Amino acid sequence: MVIIGIVGFQGDVSEHSDILQRLSREEGMEISVRLIRKKEDLEGIDGLIIPGGESTTIYKLLKQYSIYDLIKERIERGLPVMGTCAGVILLSRDTGDERVEGMGALDVRINRNAYGRQINSFIDEVEIKGLGRFKAVFIRAPVIESVENAEVLSEHEGNAIMVRSGNILGMTFHPELTQDIRIHKLFTDIIGGGGYSSTGT
């Protein structure tokens, strides 16, 4: 049984939860999903998802409920994390916006609103290393402007859109808004790869 937490303040929380439930049904995996809103919720989780939404809002609430630093610390200790869209902004080293402090878990520099406003949302087929073609949904997506110490798993028009650094996965699009479970499966494979113990020190 793996316990996967989803930062549960705002954004695509139920969509991530639904896709994890599907993954668990279709792949016969035992996944328990837990919404993370306070310190105690972090106890015993094996992996964490930071969903798409509004990074300034999610950031504010993580701070307000005093779990921003705790999450950052756990990531530094090896907790596997996946951030989608606003989530990858929060995981970045440089968000390009002083209103949101990145956790520095992914060595990337972000431009939050490079694609402009809502009107610039789009869907495109992209190629993901190890997974193949994937329908990527971009909604007011941030742009990853530079990548230092991370592996680029996918690019779109010359910019990285999906990166991995050890146990950390980040992407500027929303796999939770498709019916495609492959990216969540990749994340559970990373969790299953081990190395992190929620009870260890």
Q: What is the identity of the amino acid at 129?
A: K
Among 52, 80, 170, 175, binds ligand GLN (CB under 6 A): 52
Site of tokens 């996918």: 154
DSSP label of 40:
G
86 vs 168 by CB, closer to ligand GLN? 86
Shortest approach of ligand GLN to residue 193 CB, angstroms?
27
Among 19, 42, 79, 89, binds ligand GLN (CB under 6 A): 89
Please give the radius of gyration of the chain, using alpha carbons only, rounded to the nearest integer. Answer: 15
Stretch that binds ligand GLN, among 22-30, 52-60, 74-82, 143-151 (CB under 6 A): 52-60
Q: Within its chain, how far is the Cα of 149 from the centroid?
A: 17
Query: Looking only at residues 122 through 181 of this chain, which bind ligand GLN when binding is defined by CB under 6 A?
Result: 139-140, 142
Spatial contact of 89 and 122, defined as CB atoms under 8 Å apart: no
Orientation of helix 182-192 relative to helix 13-26, angle to 10°: 70
Taking the C-alpha atoms of residue 52 and residue 135, their distance in angstroms, rounded to an integer, is 16
Residue 86 interacting with ligand GLN (CB under 6 A): yes
58 vs 196 by CB, closer to ligand GLN? 58
Residues known to be catalytic: 85, 174, 176
Residues interacting with ligand GLN, by CB under 6 A? Answer: 52-55, 85-86, 89, 112-113, 139-140, 142
